[in-house]
Amino acid sequence: MFRFAQPDYLWFLLFIPLVIAVYLLYRRGQKRRIARFGDPAVIARLMPEASPKRVRNKFILVTLALTLMILALGQPQFGARLHEVTRKGVEIMLAVDVSNSMLAEDFAPSRLERTKNAVNRLIEQLDKDRVGMVVFAGDAYIQLPITSDYISAKSFVSGLNPNMVPVQGTSVARAIEVAVRSFSEQSHQSRAIILVTDGESHDDDPLAAAQLAKEAGVVIYTVGIGTPEGAPITIGGETIKDENGQMVVSKLDEQTLQQIAVLTGGSYVRASERSVGLDEILRQIDRMEKKEFSSMAFAEYNDQFHYLLAAALAILLIGFVMLDRKNRLLARISVFKS
């Protein structure tokens, strides 16, 4: 398994395009300054030793070396050995609404984007718990099976969008049913579902699904994201309208979410502009009974950063010995001269 032990340093890679842009602007300005003195072709003949290609190649080498050094700062590692890890925690299934109504902008930039940011922060706070994810709209699908791999979980969160579920609508019951079936056998009585939705459930019975969850020992915590006043739904710059040409307004349905939480022994939180409410729910989950889970994990990681540093130093050395001008002695040598 490959990983970066210090991934925060990889943000420095964002400076590479900036360095390239500055170089290109400098070269452009340099050409303009040379053109003021006369015809560039004539000036080039007056300076036969000048080599713009060598200058460009040196810049490419230095930029490549800088990129390798930044990657080395991230401390790349390969997993060397698998072993069984036992952790004591709770299994948490995140059921996230990705229907079109989650694109409403009563929460900036949208309900869905706010949800993604909050879920990412929740995963960052997990330690010994296991997490999985179900996405739903008119139907529900397992997006991430129960796992202890928080890095993979965050990568799945970043890709959440309404196109993941082909059937539109908001089937809360279906989301609960799929989430309940996703828990492992060893997690009985240590199971929690965090349901994040605007609550506008259509053509199903979420309370019946919640009752089945309760019988399976699952506690459901619900988060209502949206406002009771609602907001229009905009897709691709166009506002959605119904068959009568009226603008569709998506409103928060708190009553259903409150009933689901009370029925299963959980709690309901309404998201606000300051907080979606997942921190409060996580504190409640921490008080639940913990179970021991066994999983396979890499126990040792071999550092690989020294290979990148060695390559960077070798490239810098090549760039250092490469002259900006053509070498007169080498220019006289012609291997193919008869």
pLDDT tens digits, one per residue of 45-57: 655 555 667 778 8
Sketch out the chain's domains with CATH numbers. 2-78+302-332 (no CATH), 91-289 (3.40.50.410)
Closest CA to 88 of 194, 187, 219, 217: 187
Closest CA to 175 of 189, 165, 187: 165
Q: What is the pLDDT of residues 147-203, one digit of tens each?
A: 888 888 998 998 999 999 988 888 999 999 999 999 988 777 789 999 999 876 666
- Structure confidence at residue 338 (pLDDT): 44
DSSP 275-310: --SHHHHHHHHTTSPPEEEEEEEEEEEEE-HHHHHH
Average pLDDT, the chain: 83
**SS3 for 56-94, per residue?**
HHHHHHHHHHHHHHHHHHCCEEEEEEEEEEEEEECEEEE
Distance CA(323)–CA(4), nearest Å, equals 36
Question: Mean pLDDT throughout 9-31?
Answer: 89
Most confident of 35-49, 85-99, 207-221, 301-315: 207-221
Supply the angle between the helices 254-264 and 172-181 in degrees, to the nearest 10: 30
Distance CA(112)–CA(226), nearest Å, equals 10
Question: Mean pLDDT throughout 87-105?
Answer: 90
Distance CA(227)–CA(208), nearest Å, equals 25
Is the predicted pLDDT of residue 301 greater than 70, yes or no? Answer: no
Is the predicted pLDDT of residue 224 greater than 90, yes or no? Answer: yes
**What percent of the chain clears pLDDT 90, i.e. is strictly above it?**
42
